[in-house]
Homo-oligomer: A and B are copies of this chain.
Amino acid sequence: MKLTDLVKFNDQGLLCTVVQHAQTGQVLMVGYMNSESLARTLRDGRACFWSRSRRRLWTKGETSGHFLHVQEVRIDCDGDALLLKCAPAGPTCHTNETSCFYRKVESDGAVTLAGNGVATQ
């Protein structure tokens, strides 16, 4: 089967993409790809997204040097989400946290800082 037969971009031409640390399993970020950024990611082995705020292609790390080196790409059962297993060259979040998911939500809706978000902690 080919990716092009399976992948379903949404009505804005975007595909939800989860980035996971290939070694620790930590979920690092969620981004969106269009078909061009997906092609670049597969070709170059570095995660490239469509920046919805800047409305342009955005290779993660192009400014900071904190590239996400892609080790494996997976697609989900209905073809509308990707999972990238990556070796990050530095912190993934623009706040300098390892992961963008550094805040915890309690059942009463309170939000607290929770550190690095490693999956098994």
Binding site for B on A (CB under 8 A): 1-6, 16, 18, 20-27, 29-30, 42-43, 45, 72-78, 80-83, 85, 93-95, 97, 100-112, 114, 117, 119-120
Number of copies: 2
Docked-complex contact B76 and A30, CB < 8 angstroms: yes
Q: Which residue, A6, A25, A26, A78, has most C-beta atoms of chain B within 10 A?
A: A25
Known A77-B93, A77-B97, A101-B76; judge A1-B107 contact (CB<8 A): no
Docked-complex contact A81 and B30, CB < 8 angstroms: yes
Alpha-carbon gap, A101 to B17, bound state (A): 12
Of B73, B108, B119, which is within 8 A of A85 by CB? B119
